[in-house]
């Protein structure tokens, strides 16, 4: 197995209540693996150390006074900030039930005490290689996203300039006609109304962009999502006969979120409209579901915005599932870009508005295709404490 590169100096935390064990493990690792070692002698000290400086790997004793290794691991996995740190248990407990308990707590592997130095080194190297590979993958993904973002910004800037230029020319044209009309003593009320409408359209576009950027916060108060969904659905026009059927799975009440209810209604309306347009005139089904999810359950695949990091442990989950045409894989990373659309000329702000509203509420949106056809949009919003 390849040695870690010179540029990669991982930080490893070793936790054991026996100083002799810490010394043996530390000496073994430092002789064979370039790394920065830190040590803790109990669970609480370990959690504090991890909070101050998260390691890339934790070697964790199981049997410790006060707080067992199982409990430490469980707390790490419940915290979104530390959930992905791999934990290797160091244990003298080799019964099947103990091994299962370790994996259920979130450990990726275990090493039996007294350990064989070669086995310890091999297993640590394996985890460091996985970490290094994952880091490279994330680095490439970040570079790819930056390229896509540059393309998106270019397209967005061109579209905004185009739309504003159209509205500005309309306003200028109407004002010029108003000037002619006034000069000739003719009525200009209709021309003035048209000029005002064009200016309102430009203002609406501006507000949509501010919403996409998450800059329109609105007034926040406790909102019952189930109640809001029912109110939103009651205000939507009925679907044409023979097309999509709408099915709902909503709790009697809750979950509660701190939100601007008008913005959440707008978000839901855009999601349902997108689902309906995906199905078109074909028979199909749209499902609206509402439930809760832990932060660790939120997939990082096709999650938007890409740099979103969970700050809460539990989230309300709004799901809109359709049996429509699905999303071409090469377009999934672009569907939330303003003015991007492969379906309708002149549209392209519905899904960006959805993302902006989720962003302004400290939430996120995930997307996935559903074989053989259709897609699932999930919006995750922090539950009100």
Same domain for 155 and 264, yes or no, is no
Q: Is residue 244 part of a domain?
A: yes
Residue 2 lies in a domain: no
In terms of domains, do 228 and 319 share one? yes
CA-based nearest residue to 75, from 94, 50, 100, 55: 50
* 233 and 376 part of one domain: yes
Could you tell me if 230 and 373 lie in one domain? Answer: yes
In the prediction, which pLDDT does 342 show? 60
Question: Could you tell me if 377 and 320 are in contact, meaning their C-beta atoms sit under 8 angstroms apart?
Answer: yes
The answer on 200 and 228 residing in a single domain is: no
Residue at 124 is within a domain: no
Tell whether 230 and 378 lie within a shared domain.
yes
Helix (H, G, I), strand (E, B) or coil at 173: helix
β-strand pairing of 57-61 with 87-91: parallel
DSSP one-letter string for 248-276: EE--SS--EEEE-HHHHHHHHHHHHHHHH
CATH number, domain containing residue 21: 3.40.50.2300
Helix 189-212 with 350-360: angle, nearest 10 deg: 50
Tell whether 202 and 231 lie within a shared domain: no
Residues 245 and 275: beta-carbon distance below 8 Å: no
Can you give the pTM of this predicted structure? Answer: 0.55
Whether residue 79 is contained in a domain is answered as: yes
230 and 309, same domain (yes or no):
yes
pLDDT of residue 2: 44
Residues 261 and 303 in one domain: yes
List, in order, residues 6 or more apart from 53 with CB less than 8 Å away: 11, 38
Cβ-contact 368, 375 below 8 angstroms: yes
The two three-digit tokens of residue 39, written as one number: 């040590």
Positions in the chain short of pLDDT 50: 1-6, 344-347
Q: How many domains in the chain?
A: 3
Collect all residues with Cβ–Cβ distance below 8 Å to 90 and sequence separation of at least 6: 16, 21, 25, 59, 60, 61, 62, 110, 111, 113, 115
- 226 in a structural domain: yes
Q: Are residues 226 and 373 in the same domain?
A: yes
Within this chain, do residues 208 and 242 fall inside the same structural domain, yes or no? no
How many residues comprise the chain?
385
* Per-residue confidence (pLDDT) for residue 166, from 0 to 100: 77
Q: What kind and span of H or E run contains 192?
A: helix 189-212
- Residue 181: inside a domain, yes or no? yes
Residues 6+ apart with CB under 8 A from 61: 15, 16, 17, 18, 21, 69, 89, 90, 91
**Does 359 reside within a domain?**
yes
Could you tell me the CA-to-CA distances from 350 to 154, 269, 271, 319, 372 in Å, in that order? 19, 9, 8, 16, 25
Taking CA atoms, 352 is separated from 108, 276, 334, in Å, by 38, 17, 10
Whether 3 maps to a domain, the answer reads no
List C-alpha distances in Å: 33 to 26, 39, 160, 363, 377: 10, 16, 54, 40, 44
CB 34 within 8 A of CB 45: no
Looking at the structure, tell me whether residues 71 and 111 fall in a common domain.
yes
Strand partners, 39: 14
Residue 228 is part of which domain span? Answer: 221-382
Considering 181, 212, 243, which residue would you say is the last residue of a domain?
212
CATH, residue 258: 3.30.565.10
DSSP labels, 10-61: -EEEEE-S-HHHHHHHHHHHHHHS--EEEEESSHHHHHHHHHHS--SEEEEE
Give dist(CA 258, CA 57) in Å, integer: 36
Total Cβ atoms within 10 A of residue 317 = 21
Cα separation, 39 vs 55, whole angstroms? 11
Instruction: Count other Cβ atoms within 10 Å, centred on residue 51.
Output: 11
Q: Last residue of some domain: 115, 132, 164?
A: 115
Of the three residues 158, 183, 212, the one that is the final residue of a domain is 212
């Amino acid at each position: 197995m390849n040695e870690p590169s010179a540029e990669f100096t991982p930080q490893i935390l070793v936790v054991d209540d026996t100083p002799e064990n810490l010394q043996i493990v530390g000496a073994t690792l430092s002789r064979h693996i370039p790394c920065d070692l830190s040590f803790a002698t109990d669970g609480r000290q370990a959690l504090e150390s991890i909070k101050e400086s998260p390691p890339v790997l934790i070697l964790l004793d199981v049997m410790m006074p006060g707080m067992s290794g199982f409990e430490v691991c469980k707390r790490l996995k419940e915290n979104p900030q530390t959930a992905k740190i791999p934990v290797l248990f160091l244990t003298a407990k080799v019964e099947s039930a103990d091994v299962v308990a370790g994996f259920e707590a979130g450990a990726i592997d275990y090493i039996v005490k007294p350990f064989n130095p070669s086995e310890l080194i091999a297993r640590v190297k394996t985890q460091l290689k996985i970490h290094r590979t994952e880091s490279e993958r994330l680095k490439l993904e970040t570079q790819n996203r930056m390229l896509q973002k540059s393309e998106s910004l270019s397209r967005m800037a061109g579209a905004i300039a185009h739309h504003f230029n159209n509205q500005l020319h309309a306003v200028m044209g109407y004002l010029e006609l108003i000037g002619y009309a006034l000069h000739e003593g003719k009525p200009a009320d209709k021309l003035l109304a048209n000029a005002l409408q064009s200016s309102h359209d430009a203002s609406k576009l501006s507000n949509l962009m501010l919403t996409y950027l998450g800059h329109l916060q609105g007034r926040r108060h406790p909102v019952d999502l189930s109640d809001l969904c029912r109110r939103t659905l009651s205000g939507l026009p009925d679907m044409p006969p023979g097309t999509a059927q709408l099915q709902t799975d909503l709790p009697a009440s809750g979950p509660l979120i701190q939100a601007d209810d008008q913005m959440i209604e707008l978000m839901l309306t855009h999601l349902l409209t997108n689902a309906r347009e995906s199905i078109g005139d074909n028979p199909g089904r749209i499902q609206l579901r509402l439930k809760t999810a832990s932060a660790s359950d939120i997939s990082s695949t096709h999650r938007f915005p890409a740099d979103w990091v969970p700050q809460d442990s539990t989230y309300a989950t709004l799901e809109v599932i359709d049996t429509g045409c699905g999303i071409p894989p090469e377009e999934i990373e672009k569907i939330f870009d303003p003015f991007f659309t492969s379906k309708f000329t002149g549209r392209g702000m519905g899904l960006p508005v959805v993302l902006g509203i989720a962003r302004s509420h400290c939430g996120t949106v995930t997307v996935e295709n559903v074989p053989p056809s259709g897609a699932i949009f999930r919006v995750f919003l922090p539950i009100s404490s």
